[in-house]
């Protein structure tokens, strides 16, 4: 895989969180323990580089639940290739997410 982004520990954690079913910012923050000032810039950068795709949920649903709309993220084919590198570089982090109960 070419160098689309710097594969740092926080970036790897965000990718793994999304891979394991944590699809929006606050959920990724909860799963990784990373602050919003780290998670949201990573999500935006990965989306710009085609590693993730993002889509806003229906505003009516968010209003019905009395909260702001969420942006849901999915890993692209390019992102799946990046995850191969994550597995090789951060095996302990991969094990943490694999042991997480109730994830996809």
CB 52 within 8 A of CB 67: no
pTM value surpassing 0.75? yes
Topology given in CATH for the domain delimited by 9-98: Arc Repressor Mutant, subunit A (1.10.10)
SS3 of residue 89 by DSSP: helix
Q: Which helix (H) or strand (E) holds 88?
A: helix 77-89
Pair of tokens at residue 27: 């959920």
Q: Which residues of the chain have pLDDT under 50?
A: 1, 103-104
Cα dihedral 47, 44, 4, 89 sign: negative
pLDDT, one tens digit per residue, over 37-50 is: 999 999 999 999 99
């Amino acid at each position: 895989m070419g160098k689309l982004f710097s594969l740092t520990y926080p970036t790897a954690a965000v990718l793994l969180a999304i891979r394991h079913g944590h699809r929006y910012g606050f959920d990724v923050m909860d799963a990784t323990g990373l602050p919003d000032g780290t998670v949201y810039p990573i999500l935006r950068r990965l989306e710009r580089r085609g590693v993730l795709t993002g889509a806003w949920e229906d505003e009516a649903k968010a209003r019905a639940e009395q909260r702001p709309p969420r942006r849901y993220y999915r890993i692209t084919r390019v992102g799946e290739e990046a995850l191969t590198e994550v597995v090789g570089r951060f095996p302990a982090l991969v094990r943490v997410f694999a042991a997480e109960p109730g994830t996809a």
